[in-house]
Amino acid sequence: MAKNMMSDVELKREAGQVGYREALAVMDERNRAIAQGEAPELVWLLEHPPVYTAGTSAAAGELLDPRFEVVEAGRGGRYTYHGPGQRIGYVLLDLTRRGRDVRRFVHSLEGWVIDTLADFGVECWRAEGRIGIWTRDIDGSETKIGAIGVRVRRWVTMHGFSVNLSPDLTHFTGIVPCGIAEYGVTSLARLGIDLAPEAWDEALLARAGEFLAALDTSCGESK
């Protein structure tokens, strides 16, 4: 049943890199088309060339070393890095069909990523007051392995999540990631897990139906 729930959602998986500005343009147009009933909902998995993206709450002092292009993303949140070795999931869903509850959407999105990481033996969690997906680093400290950032326009979601498979972690030092200076950033590779993007995608999409089911069946519930 959960798999059947994905039958009306388009799944796109990019093998090559997609420029960040190009992705923004695609999301803008797809948002309009979904809202007008001209295109199906979309889950889009991809990778970007190195870029720093600024959310609507980004503070200038948190851009420490703009060694890469800096793009205003239009999503919520602060500065985030995207680049090779990091898998991005853009999730464009019509919330008019799914309860019009943005908080529930974000909670369900986080759960989708957390459950998929658990499939590879990585225990992750939400942290109150700190956006993102958190785990234990190799030294036992709490650290971030995934980011969440969304925008809702016309009741259609945009942006989504990123998960660090094997990025160059030094690239994160050009910003204060998500405005949180006291915690570090890790990756599956740093944790000793060598995972190809294709394997991550397969595991994530195997749980996509569960993600939609949780989103839809929790209508009216407080999460």
Q: Which active-site residues does the annotation give? A: 178
- On whether the CB atoms of residues 92 and 60 are closer than 8 A, the answer is no
**Residues 130, 53: Cα–Cα separation, whole Å:** 18
Nearest to 174 by CA among 23, 71, 103, 68: 68
- On whether the CB atoms of residues 54 and 77 are closer than 8 A, the answer is no
**Residues 160, 169: Cα–Cα separation, whole Å:** 21
Handedness of CA 14, 20, 26, 32 (dihedral sign): positive
HEC string of 30-78 equals HHHHHHCCCCCEEEEEEECCCEEEECCCCCHHHECCCCCCEEECCCCCC
- On whether the CB atoms of residues 178 and 81 are closer than 8 A, the answer is no
**Residues 45, 7: Cα–Cα separation, whole Å:** 17
- On whether the CB atoms of residues 209 and 103 are closer than 8 A, the answer is no
